Structure 1
Amino acid sequence: MKFSSVTPDIIPPDILLGAYAQGAFPMGDDGEIIWVSPEFRGIIPLDERFHIPHGLKKKLRKSPFEIRINSAFREVMLGCADREETWITEAILESYCALHDRGHAHSVECWDDDGLQGGLYGVSLGKAFFGESMFSRKTDASKVALVFLVDHLRSMDFRLLDTQWITDHLKTFGGLEIKREQYLDLLAEAIGA
């Protein structure tokens, strides 16, 4: 489901948070902002259904990256936008950086001696985390960031990890697709927590 489009220079943080609380999120499209609330929503369970693929477990034991949180938020967004087609427009970038400044948008980053090699960013509201995008410059960097994120969310008693849509990649971690009505119930419970 798509809602009305607007063309702001920046989406005010309160509008962004209000949209997330109602199950919607923005995407940039040809200079406009499209508000989306999919009929089917991707989530990664934060319980025992979360699965780390065998090969990645072996890599994690070697600690290939230094993990940092929120040390390079803008750079992570730019890494996520660095692809042939992207919904991360200038307005989206600036809107989420403003949300980061307010303490509601966060990045998980994988660093090594060569610099930032991958990561992810998203939005937190109550006990819900909304994963927005991820990228890798070195093999498995985004996957390592995702595993760290799940461990961190569990330690903070988060209830919901929203991935917007489900992909084959996310299914390898136990990601699943649920109907919007079920998602909205989980969302209300997580925000209320």
Structure 2
Amino acid sequence: MLRLAGVPVFLWLVLGPEADGWALALLMVSGITDFADGWLARRLDQTTVLGQLLDPIADRLYILAVVFGLAMRDIIPWWVAVLLPLRDLMLWGLVPLLRTRGYSALPVHFLGKAATFNLLYAFPLLLLGDGDGVVAELAQVFGWAFAFWGIGLYWWAGLLYAWQVRTLLRTTERRPAVGDG
């Protein structure tokens, strides 16, 4: 829940006072707590349905907030800011089809995690690269490398999810979704 609460704070830091150092710190804390929370939940066998739902939602909201904030500051081009949410819209459009087969979502696979990992590294580096000097220049280079890999993997994972939905639709019978009466 704290990670979710950090999303609007991040946007305010980036777009309001342009406190990039604090925004970067918030992203780092969010990333560390995301990893620690998932690791502890699995290690202590305390995974919950709510946690499995909120974790990817928080990841997506951070990605969207960072993309929007960086695009508003002209740190990244708008085509990047459109391309990532477009993939998510495509996948959200598949959820009603999944529900016809009794599923509410597909399990996250490694490719999706790798894409998110790359993007969660890319955007803080690009934010850090919005400055002068050697550190900013290196951050730009590595940030764009992670961004291009992340965008490619993000869409590749999205297409694999779409293919999984297609396969499910062809191989399973229509039934109520989990939780439906």
- TM-score band w.r.t. shorter chain: under 0.3
Which of the pair has more CA radius of gyration? 2
TM-score, normalised via structure 2 length: 0.25
Higher relative contact order (CA closer than 8 Å, sequence separation 6+):
1
TM-score, normalised via structure 1 length: 0.24
Structure holding more strand per residue: 1
